[in-house]
Amino acid sequence: MSVAAAVTPPAVGAEAPGPRRAGRTPYLLLAPGLAVLAIFFVAPILVLFFTSLMVPVPGGDIGQFQPAFEVSNYTNAIREYWPIFVRSFGFGLLATVLALLIGYPLAYVIAVRCRSRPTLAQFMLVLVIAPFFTSFILRTIAWRQILADEGPVVSVMRALALLPSDGRLTATAFAVVAGLTYNFLPFMTLPIYASLERLDVRLIEAGQDLYAGPLTTFLRVTWPLSLPGVVAGTLLTFIPASGDYVNAALLGNPGTRMIGSIIDSQFFQVVDYPTAAALSFILMAVILVLVIVYIRRSGTEDLV
């Protein structure tokens, strides 16, 4: 026994670092990501939350606030800006629906119809991604040129009497929604492409073989199987589109302002940090609730 006791401790000591190091490795690998999240997500959210409850320093300068627990910041913000919230989500929803109507057929053609011609499919995929090579702002400004009063779109629409002779597109709700749709189209197209690309075309053939016409086959087979991509694409479009302020600022007018523009001006022009922070929190909360309801209803809980 004494020999065994004398031999065992060093053996344990020699073996121990191995398992212990292996146990630590995953956490070490996670550490950078967790640190980034803590510094750039959790900390700002907390700061924003405390800001949203602050009150102005009595007799202080503009932009001077002190800690408080002023819940009326939220109620005031909702009372004053609820129409803007409604408009933001309305524009976001409209842009999402339009992006789906454009993006789904596009993704379908690339992923299913061009499957036998991979080079063409890759080329079309590059075209979908190509706009990312230019700045988001620049592309939105380009839309001002396209929709300008002297631009080709307006001239054609006037000539076809789709627009009255003094009608315009810039600085309208149409321009804002068009800009949102355009800017977020790749976010809709790519996830749908990813799910359709995995679709087994033999399932479409099986549908046709089992007496389903083209429309029924689409509704019963293709659409349900592409639903994960559709859900991902609509979320990736709706969330940023609802909070966007670039399109509203560059393509809209004061009557088409979205909640993003209000938050922007509250922060940088009015310098009312608590209201801006409260608006940000309301936006986040509403989006979170909408997304949870949406995912539950579409039955793709595995995305959460």
55: which strand partners? 66
- Choice between 40 and 223, CB closer to another protein: 223
Q: What's the min distance (Å) between Cβ of 210 and another protein?
A: 4
Q: What's the min distance (Å) between Cβ of 117 and another protein?
A: 14
Residue ranges that bind another protein, judged by CB under 8 A: 200, 202-203, 205-213, 216-217, 220-221, 224-225
| 108-128 as b/e: b if 16+ CB within 10 A | bebbbebeeeeeebeebbeeb
- Choice between 217 and 261, CB closer to another protein: 217
Q: What's the min distance (Å) between Cβ of 181 and another protein?
A: 29
- Choice between 134 and 216, CB closer to another protein: 216
- Choice between 31 and 210, CB closer to another protein: 210
Q: What's the min distance (Å) between Cβ of 104 and another protein?
A: 17
- Choice between 93 and 225, CB closer to another protein: 225
| 31-52 as b/e: b if 16+ CB within 10 A | eeeeeeeeeeeeeeeeebeebb
At position 300, the amino acid (one-letter code) is: T
Identify which of 264, 263, 260 has the alpha carbon closest to the alpha carbon of residue 247. Answer: 260
Q: Which two tokens stand for residue 210?
A: 């089992």
What are the distances in angstroms from CA 61 to CA 109, 150, 169, 272?
Answer: 59, 46, 41, 12
Contact 92, 242 (CB under 8 A): yes
Q: What's the min distance (Å) between Cβ of 193 and another protein?
A: 19
